[in-house]
């Protein structure tokens, strides 16, 4: 295997264990807090801690990466996550767990920012969608494995945390063999040349539709993994049911991750996101009416996952399409901010909607996915109008 492929697969493995961590923590901690009598709103607040960490760390990712390179950022991020995961079972306390999740959010941000920019810089334009799809596939696969970990609670609370920490350590050892690399040299002059506020404004104006897409996926993902276990337990489902339903959504996304990534390269990300969010909206609207049927939810979750389970990777690639290469690192930062905001609001709003009668929890997700669809629809028609205007000139 060539060094380039070794590096790519190691980045993919790093993202996989990050997915396992997030996929495990959300249902596992939610279940443990629910068993201890914690309210659904506070449970949602605890789930939001990870994404508060993502949000707080996002503005500080660019300069350290320019100065120290990708490898140190990746290793520090993974080491931070590993230590925090290892500490979870030693003290079952709401605020201790809140702090550890916050720290994991910071580590995850370091890890994902470095991996995303490294992959985007080294991928050819024709293979960018495919490579980001593999990245998303790996993260999604980790998310599918993560919700299976709560079953290990029957043996000991230490088992799920220690297993994830051990795998993180193995990946960290392999990272020692990576050669350090830096963002393209011309990025260094950008902040001074244009001014940081002008760069932020330009990125937001060019990539707003992509940022709304990553916001929507953050809301969806954190609501499902942070709030749905509580919603399910209160409507008669058990831990084994939850451990099947959450991976069902992720597996649906894995089935279409690669085909959608390649399809986006051919027909355009904007058009593809319109199609996927339209059917995703219909799927979760249907879930609001059949939430008491385990089989019905399994089918709905698989279908919804097939359409919008890869929405994050589509959104990230969409943003890279909309921005010039010099602004992609900043675009990644703002995408993480949007994702963090969505992931923070998801558990908070979802925790409140759980207390509403019926399937109100699913209507909240439906509304947010529809907002993504409508925003991309506006962007698509605006782009078509501008293109027609340019052709007339």
pLDDT tier for residue 393 given thresholds of 50, 70 and 90: very low
Place of tokens 């207390």: 355
Overall domain count for the chain:
1
Going by pLDDT thresholds of 50, 70 and 90, the confidence category of residue 387 is low
Is 90 exceeded by the pLDDT of residue 277?
yes
Domain-embedded: residue 186: no
Residue 208, domain member (yes or no): yes
Residue 213 lies in a domain: yes
Q: What percent of the chain has pLDDT over 90?
A: 29
Alpha-carbon distance of 184 to 199, in angstroms, equals 17
Contact between 294 and 241 under an 8 Å Cβ cutoff? The reply is: yes
CATH classification at residue 352: 1.20.1250.20
pLDDT, one tens digit per residue, over 32-54 is 888 888 887 788 788 778 878 88
Instruction: Report yes or no on 64 lying in a domain.
Output: yes
Residue 187 within a domain? no
Q: What is the pTM of this model?
A: 0.74
Average pLDDT over residues 240-265: 84
Span 280-297, mean pLDDT? 92
List the domain range (segments joined by +) for residue 73. 3-175+193-392
Q: Which helix (H) or strand (E) holds 271?
A: helix 269-287
Model confidence at 97, in pLDDT bands (50, 70, 90)?
very high
CB 337 within 8 A of CB 55: yes
Task: Single out the residue of 62, 41, 44 nearest to residue 337, CA to CA.
Answer: 62
Q: Please state, in angstroms and rounded to a whole number, the distance separating the CA atoms of residues 52 and 104.
A: 10
pLDDT, tens digit, 9 for 90 and up, residues 323-365:
887 787 788 788 878 887 888 888 888 888 888 888 889 999 9
């Amino acid at each position: 295997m060539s060094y380039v492929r070794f590096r790519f697969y190691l980045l993919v493995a790093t993202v996989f264990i990050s997915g396992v961590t997030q996929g495990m923590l959300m249902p596992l901690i939610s279940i443990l807090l629910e068993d201890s009598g914690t309210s659904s709103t506070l449970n949602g607040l605890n789930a939001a801690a990870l994404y508060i960490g993502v949000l707080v760390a996002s503005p500080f990712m660019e300069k350290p990466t320019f100065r120290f390179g990708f490898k140190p950022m990746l290793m520090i991020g993974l080491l931070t996550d590993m230590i925090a995961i290892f500490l979870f079972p030693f003290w079952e306390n709401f605020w201790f767990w809140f702090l550890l999740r916050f720290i994991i959010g910071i580590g995850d941000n370091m890890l994902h920012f470095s991996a995303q920019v490294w992959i985007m810089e080294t991928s050819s334009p024709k293979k960018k969608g495919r490579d980001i799809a593999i990245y998303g596939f790996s993260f999604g696969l980790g998310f599918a494995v993560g919700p299976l970990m709560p079953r290990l609670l029957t043996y000991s609370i230490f088992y799920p945390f220690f297993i994830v920490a051990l795998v993180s350590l193995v990946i960290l050892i392999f990272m020692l063999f990576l050669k350090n690399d830096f963002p393209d040299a011309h990025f260094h002059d950008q902040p001074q040349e244009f001014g940081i506020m002008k760069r932020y404004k330009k990125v937001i104006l060019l990539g707003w539709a992509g940022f709304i897409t990553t916001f929507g996926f953050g809301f969806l993902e954190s609501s499902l993994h942070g709030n749905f276990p509580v919603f399910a337990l209160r409507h008669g489902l058990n831990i084994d049911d939850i451990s099947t339903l959450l991976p069902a959504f992720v597996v649906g996304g894995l089935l279409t991750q690669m085909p959608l990534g390649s399809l986006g390269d051919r027909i355009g990300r904007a058009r593809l996101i319109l199609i996927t969010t339209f059917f995703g909206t219909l799927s979760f609207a249907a879930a609001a009416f059949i939430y008491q049927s385990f089989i019905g939810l399994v089918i709905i979750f698989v279908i919804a996952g097939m359409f919008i389970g890869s929405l994050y990777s589509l959104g990230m690639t969409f943003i890279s399409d909309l921005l010039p290469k010099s602004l992609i690192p900043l675009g990644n930062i703002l995408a993480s901010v949007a994702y963090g905001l969505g992931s923070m609001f998801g558990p908070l709003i979802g925790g409140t909607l759980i207390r509403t009668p019926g399937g109100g929890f699913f209507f909240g997700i439906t509304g947010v996915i529809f907002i993504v669809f409508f925003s991309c629809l506006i962007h698509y028609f605006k782009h078509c109008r501008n293109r027609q205007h340019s052709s007339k000139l």
